Structure 1
Amino acid sequence: MQESETELMLRGYGLTTAELFYRMPDYQSVLNTFVWQEYDLAPDHPKLFQFIEYWQDEIEGPLHSVRFTHRKMISPGKWQNVVGEFTYH
């Protein structure tokens, strides 16, 4: 059973976005980019490193570099249960 995004965020996961720069085997002078995004745990980023290892083992385009950012969307201290709604005209 897969957890929802909210459940992952409440357990400390944040959104990790990585931009991978790689070269095609036939065109070594051209850099291409691939964007990867997944909920992951900082600072170890196990899912990101698992994906990079998969890329190096299975994809023919060698990696040039990887740039990534990690953002915690919510944390237990920021969670607020809103019960009402205020409308302003």
Structure 2
Amino acid sequence: MIDRALMVRLEGYGLTTAEIHYYRPDAPSLLNLFVWQDYDLAPDFPVLFDFIDYWNRGIEGALHSIRIVHDQLVRPAEWRAARGDFRLG
């Protein structure tokens, strides 16, 4: 079985982290922080924007700001299949 994280990274996805600051529904003058993380495609971030749409529809806390960080360490162009056996000892 192949790991989901490896498969999505080979398709161009990278680990995306979003710091979401929102106003607390019970105390609108206070901000709270929610950290969201998933694999997503930069620069369009369709998975993140689906989550933000869900937030706007189903969660009472109004959004204040969002900071996005995206990891692109492994890309499809960097992956190569290796052939051979390596024996140690």
Runs (5+) with no aligned partner, structure 2 = none
- In structure 2, the partner of 1:69 is 69
- In structure 2, the partner of 1:47 is 47
1:16 to 1:63, Cα distance in 2 relative to 1, 3 A: same
TM-score (norm 2): 0.82
Aligned equivalents of 1:85, 1:27: Cα separation in 2? 62
Q: Name the structure where helix makes up a greater proportion of residues.
A: 2
Kindly tell me the number of residue pairs found equivalent between the two proteins.
85
Aligned equivalents of 2:37, 2:54: Cα separation in 1? 15
RMSD of aligned C-alpha atoms? 2.2
Matched, 1:9 2:9: yes
Would you identify which runs of 4 or more consecutive aligned residues in structure 1 move more than 6 Å? Answer: none
- In structure 2, the partner of 1:29 is 29
Structure 1 residue 73, shift from structure 2 partner:
3.0
Runs (5+) with no aligned partner, structure 1 = none
Aligned equivalents of 1:84, 1:15: Cα separation in 2? 31
- In structure 2, the partner of 1:59 is 59
Among the aligned pairs, what percent are the same residue?
50
TM-score (norm 1): 0.82
